[in-house]
Structure formats: structure tokens, C-alpha cells
Structure 1
Amino acid sequence: MSFIVATAPGPSNALRRMTPNKRMLLPVVLMALLMVPGSRQVTLQVLSDAFFQVGIFVYLSLVAFHAVASRVSGGRMAELIARYPAVELSGAALLGALPGCGGAIVVVTQFVRGNASFGAVVTVLTSTMGDAAFLLLASEPVTGLSVMAISSVVGVITGAVVNYIHQDDSVMRQPAKASNDNVACQCEGTLASPFASRFASYFFLVLAIPALIIALFMAFNVDIQAYSAVLNTSIVYGGASAAFITIVLWAINGQATAPSQPNAPAGKLQVLSANAAADTQFVLSWVVVAFLLFELPMFWFNVDMAAAFDGMGVVAVLGAIAVGMLPGCGPQIMVTGLYLQGALPFAALLGNGLANDGDALFPAMALAPKAAAYATLYSAVPALVVGLGWFYLVG
């Protein structure tokens, strides 16, 4: 996801449209890897696995999530938090635990308006995993729920301590020159044209059922190769093609500045599919990068990446926490992808999840930069304590 600050049309927007799209580098690199005989099969398998093992589950979970979110009022949740301050931190933790950025934005904007405490901001940023939560829930739902539960509890405790330290949090605020009306949470790769929106929406709608059937066979370890080598090859090439198209869609829509179909009902299936497809494009692209970074060194240099990261021990945990302090969801998705590949221990995933503020840090930086800086540092403390504690005590 990304945050788009509404601006009046002008030369800056025209200049932005003329700026080269750096995201096209990923499909270009993938094409190069597919053209080289030495890396073709590995790249095909990575693309296929990413689509069937991750992409389709992320898409379907996002459709369900957006369907629920379209019927829940963020303003109503903010009103409840302001009305019942005794449960403020628990409410902030719950909003932070929701996948994506929407819940965290509610708390950040309410803090700027004086309706939420600074501890609530720390709580929501500690609890959130951003878009990485979609990937984890789609791939390992039990692990995802466990991380969300731990992050919520730790977030509430951290927020309570911060509120005790900062009983007067007015210094953390600055006059809000922008409200949440002009800081919007838009899906990464928001589709720029009706045609692109319809194409992405129907592309995933058409593939959803057959891709889910294949993905379930894979999830239950059914050896398709044993039944038909031709079918297995077709699945690999079909999945790789679907993943590549998804990444190209992410790349070409990377500079979109307005949401698609603004007047369409939020709960309409086509809109739900388009929104889910846009997020899936972003998540899948970063997952492919993570998988390739894991698989290619093993193929080219015979390096066991899982053993290499395992040999790093506590350094891997500290590295994951450091990555978690970076704003944005892309690097966090890579960390989650490496965990799912077996390259990182659970302690690294947990530390990254606690330190990870996701895209929610961007509006915080825009609306209350001092609070955003302090909140990032405060969320790093429980990440170090819990992440390192889990590593040394559990493993």
C-alpha cells in the first residue's frame, strides 16, 4: 500500500507522469533471467510457486478483507476510541493488528486532532505488520494470528509505558495543516484507467477458482508430476505467466495518482476484485524478489541460504528488526518471504513485526513528524526485547 497526498493538478503532476517508471526494472530483470538457459528453470519455478503458493491466497483473503472493510466505518471506530479512553490502547492494538494500513491511519489522524494519546500511536505502530500480514496469514494463518496476538499484547504494554512517560503529549503534536481527507490510504499500484482496472479485476476473477484448485493440490503435497508430466509442465508455465502478468501490471500502474472507479459502490465485486488485485500485485512482486534472492544464490553458487542465515544467529534477528524500522511495506514483505522460505527464524519474524510500522509511518511523518520519529524508536525497544528474548529462550 502507499499513501497518496491529494494535490491540485499542475506541473508537478505532469512532471511525475514524465518520470521514468523504475518499477519496470523488475519485469525487465525477470525477462533477462528467463532468456538465460542457466536461470530459466529456476525463475519459472519461483514465479509459479509465488503465484500458486502465495499470490492466489493473498488475493482471495484480500477480497474477503476488503468486503468486510467496506462495511466498517473508520470514523465510527475513531469515535468509539475517543469516547472510551479506558479501552483506547486495546482499540488501537486491534486496529493495528488489522492487515494493511487503514486501522493505523485512523489512530494517527485522531492523535493529530487531539482525540488519541501518543501511547495509542505507539501501540498501533507496534501492533501493525502492514501488508506483510496479508502474506503471512495467506501462507501460515496460525503463525500470522500468533504474531498478531503477540504484537497486540506487546503494543498495549508499550503504549501504557509511553503514556506514563509522556503524560503531556502535546509537544508531540504539531498544528495539523492537513486532515485525513487529503492523506488517503490507497492500494499500492492503484489502477490508473478504467481499462486497467477492469483487466486486473477480471484477470484475477477468471483465474481465482482454477488457481485455487491447483494451489490446494500443492498445499496438500499432491505430486502432479506423478500423474502427468505434461500437466505439471503446463501448471508451471501457466503459474509463471500469471505471476509475470501480475508483476507487469504492478510496474505499469506504479505511477498512478488516482483510484479507479471512484463513484462505484465500495462493496461491488468488481471493485473488491480490483482493490484486491492491486494489493496482490504489490505483495507478489516483493515475494518474487525475496524468493529469487533465496533461490538464485543456491543455484549459481551452491550456497545454502537457509544455513547461511541460520549461521548468522542473533545477527539475523537484529537485521530483521533494523529492516522493520524502514518505512513502507516492501522490505517487510521480503523479510516475511525469507521466513516462509525457511531462511529466517521465528524470532526474526517476530522482531520485524514489532518494529515494522509499514506504510502507516508515512502519514505519521506527514502529520506529526516528531511523534513518528519517537514512535519508531519506542517500537524498536519491544522488538529488541521480545525478538532477542524469543531467540535466546525459545530458539
Structure 2
Amino acid sequence: MSILLELILDSAEGAFLEVGAFVGAVLLLFGYVNYRKSGSFIATIQNSKKWQPVIGALLGLTPGCGGAIFVMPLFFKKAVTFGTVVATLIATMGDSAFVIIASHPIQYLIISLLSFFVAIITGYIVDMTGLGNSILKKYDERKLKKDKVDALHTNLDHSMQQYECGKHGSCESPVINHIGHEEGDEIDLLLHHKLKGHQHPDTFGYRFTHNAFYLYWGFIAVGLVLGVMQLFQIEINEWSIPNLGLIFGGLGTVFSIIMMIMAKKFLGDDTHEETELKVMSLKETFIHNAQDTAFVVTWVFVGFLAYEMMILLMGGGDYAVGEATIETLLLATGILSIIIGASIGLIPGCGPQIIFVTLFTRGLVPFAALFANAVSQDGDALLPLIAIDRRSAIWATVISTIPAIIFGLIIYWFEINTGLGNIFLTTLDQFKAFLF
């Protein structure tokens, strides 16, 4: 029991101080950029028909799912091509990008560069096939007539959207300003009423997350200081306050789990509606980015703990034996790990992807498998696509999996047979040694 407790505490400390605090800082930075620039990004992609797959890939590269989520409805408004949707989804890593940025920045840059080119190439190829026109034709045949949509929209409850607009006073209309679609269209019915949006203001979860975020960002700020100290090889657990890192990291992870539960975010952490709220208000950006950070920390903790438990079990209680067994297993299943990485990428949402990336940070997954997962996964951006038209979502996720496996195998060959593998195997410790 003492070994299990030690593993839980160590995993909690690592999740919050090694990853979570840095994720929070990066997420807040990109959240502010998204708040300031999302509208102009969408206007740019709509007005640049020739370069849409390129711009879509750039939006997908933005850590998190904000940019990618906004692109999805544009396809059904005939504002972007299906190749642009595919390019955006291939380039996005969702919230798992924050984990890589915080722990392995070199690998993140390599993945971003490679996936950017793969996304563009695949996007233009898809547009050459005419698949998008076929999907839109069938979608137009199924979608509701305008009078039916108007009747349904009139009878729906808009009190939550009106509440948010009244609270922030920044809406041009009585409800939330929409990006990628208009108020009262069929997409509005699907994304703001049938798909899970934000919580009702009367719920305890809403009140908790919309007040506790101040304290949570305080935890992140202190955790960031402690995390930076660890980067400089300062033993914070041996300070005048015994086990300071262990205690604070554990509390931070517990706080994160509570925040995630209160926000009711488990597999996915971002919806189209919440992303619009972030753009509408800087305060909403702080609130929802706190929830996003808590979501990432919780899943990283699960990943760290799963890794530690796996080693302990495979070693029959002997940690050293477990590590040796894992290394032997990795050598035997290198190519299979690429298929596994791409297959996990098929799962909508960010939770499973964060666990897979977390296992990479612990050396359990080769770089090629990480790349295959990064290309295959669509993060939370696939959820609005599923809500609007499942057929297009299936096509998009299947198409993105093909280059994931192909290029994953190519990269794996380079890892095994050439010196380029050393680039992919650069560790955070080597990076820190170079800096410090």
C-alpha cells in the first residue's frame, strides 16, 4: 500500500509541476491570441479560396482546438473546401499539444513542421477528388428546410446565451456572437442546443468554476515558479518546508480533478459554444482556459499513474525489472505502436490522446508513433463535425489516418536506420543541459 501511495503522490506532483503549470501558462498565452485574432483568422480563410488548405493547416497548428473548431461549420456554409477541413484536422493536436510543448519542445517543433506539410498535401489532394461536393450534396438533401428550422429555433430556450451576453454586454445581438455560422440556422440548432454547450448559470458546477478560477490560476502561478526551479535542478522537496513540491503538486492535481468534475469535462473539454464565449470575453477566456488546464492536468496524472502502475505490475513489484521488461517490449512492438497511435487518434476528444502523449514523455512510445497519433487525432474539433454531419466526420477521420500510418512508418524507418533518429530521441534533459 505504501508503494501505491508513493506512486500516486509522485504522479500527482509530476502532473502539476512538470507539466500542468507550464501547460497553464502556454494555454493562457494562446487563449489570449485566440481572443484577439479568431475573427480575423476566420475572415482570412473565407476570403482566400486558393490558400484555404494552407490557412486551415496553420489554424490547426494552433495549440488547443479553438482554431480548428471554428473551421468545421464553414464547410457546410460552403465557405471552405473539404480539403481545408481535412488539412485543419490533420494539423491539430488538440490539447495534447500543450503537453508536448511543456515537456518536449524540440519534438513539438518537429511534429508541427512535418504535420503542416502533410496536412497541406493531403488537403489539396482531397480537393482534387471532388469528395467535398459529394458530401455537401448529400448534406443538402438531408438538412431541414428554412421554415422548419425557424419554427424549431423559435421554440428553443435561449436563456443561457442571453445570460452570457447580458453578463458581458459585448454581444451585437441578444445572444452569443457566432463564428462560422449565423444565429437561427441549422448549425446553430446542432451546436448550441443539441451538442453539449456550457453549463447553466444556476448549477453548482457553473458557480464553482466561475469563481474558483481565480484561486486556480494562483495555484498555476506558484506551480510555475516551482516548476522552473525544478528545471534549474533545485530540489524543492528538500527546502525548509519538507516535501514542498510533493504537497503543492498533489494539491494542484486534486484541485484540477475537482475543476474538471465541476465543469463536467471528461473525454472532451472544448465545445464550439465555449470557444465562442472565449472570443466574446477575456474573462471567459480565463475561466474556460482554467477548465482546459485542469482537464489536461487530470489526464496527464492518469497517464503518469498508468505508466508507473504498468511498470510495477510488469516487474512483479520490482520497478527495475518492470523498466527492463518495458524496454524489451518496445523493441518488439515498434511498428505496432504506430498502428496503435493512429488508431487511438480515431477516438474523438482529447483525453485518450493526452494519455498517449504522456506515455511518450515517459519513453514508452517511439517518436514515429507520437507523430502518427498527432496526424490521426482530431481533438475536440471532430465533435462539432459529428454533430452536424456524421458522414463527413467519418470521411475526415479515415482520410487523416491514412497519412498518419504512411508517414509514421517512414519516420520509424528513419529512426531505426539512419542518424536522424537521434533528432527524434532528443530528451528534455538534453534540452535543459543545452540551455543551462
Q: Hey, what does 2:367 align to over in structure 1? A: 346
TM-score, structure 2 normalization: 0.74
Change (3 A) 1:188 1:144: farther
Matched, 1:219 2:184: no
Q: Separation in 2 of the partners of 1:118 and 1:265?
A: 27
Q: Hey, what does 1:145 align to over in structure 2? A: 109
Task: Output the amino acid matched with 2:187.
Answer: S
Query: Among 304, 319, 322, which residue is 1:291 paired with?
Result: 304
Q: Hey, what does 1:169 align to over in structure 2? A: 132
Change (3 A) 1:68 1:238: same
Matched, 1:204 2:216: yes
Task: Output the amino acid matched with 2:291.
Answer: A
Task: Tell me if the contact between 2:16 and 2:252 (Cα under 8 Å) persists in the aligned partners.
Answer: yes
- 4+ runs deviating over 4 angstroms: 184-194, 255-260, 262-265
Q: Hey, what does 1:389 align to over in structure 2? A: 410
Task: Give unmatched runs, 5+ long, in structure 1.
Answer: 1-35
The 3-state SS of whatever aligns with 1:71 is helix
Change (3 A) 1:205 1:329: closer
Task: Tell me if the contact between 1:187 and 1:279 (Cα under 8 Å) persists in the aligned partners.
Answer: no
Query: Among 354, 357, 377, which residue is 1:333 paired with?
Result: 354
Q: Separation in 2 of the partners of 1:326 and 1:129?
A: 13
Task: Tell me if the contact between 2:35 and 2:278 (Cα under 8 Å) persists in the aligned partners.
Answer: no
Q: Separation in 2 of the partners of 1:249 and 1:194?
A: 10
TM-score, structure 1 normalization: 0.81
Q: Hey, what does 1:252 align to over in structure 2? A: 262
Question: Deviation string for 1:202-260 (max 9, x for gaps)?
Answer: 222322332222101112222345x54x6351321221122112112212331799969
Query: Among 92, 96, 99, which residue is 2:63 paired with?
Result: 99
Q: How does 1:175-324 map to 2 (within 5 A)?
A: 175=140, 178-179=186-187, 183=191, 193=205, 195-224=207-236, 228=239, 231-254=241-264, 266-268=281-283, 271-300=284-313, 301=316, 302=318, 303-304=322-323, 306-307=326-327, 308-324=329-345
Change (3 A) 1:219 1:189: farther
Task: Tell me if the contact between 1:189 and 1:281 (Cα under 8 Å) persists in the aligned partners.
Answer: no
Question: Deviation string for 1:243-295 (max 9, x for gaps)?
Answer: 112112212331799969x7996124xx4332221001111111111111101
Task: Output the amino acid matched with 1:266.
Answer: S
Q: Hey, what does 2:8 align to over in structure 1? A: 43
Task: Tell me if the contact between 2:83 and 2:124 (Cα under 8 Å) persists in the aligned partners.
Answer: yes
Query: Among 47, 52, 56, which residue is 2:17 paired with?
Result: 52
Question: Deviation string for 1:68-98 (max 9, x for gaps)?
Answer: 1111233x43332232211111111011111
Return the offset for 1:325: 1.2
Change (3 A) 1:244 1:189: farther
Name the % identity: 28
Task: Tell me if the contact between 2:326 and 2:364 (Cα under 8 Å) persists in the aligned partners.
Answer: yes
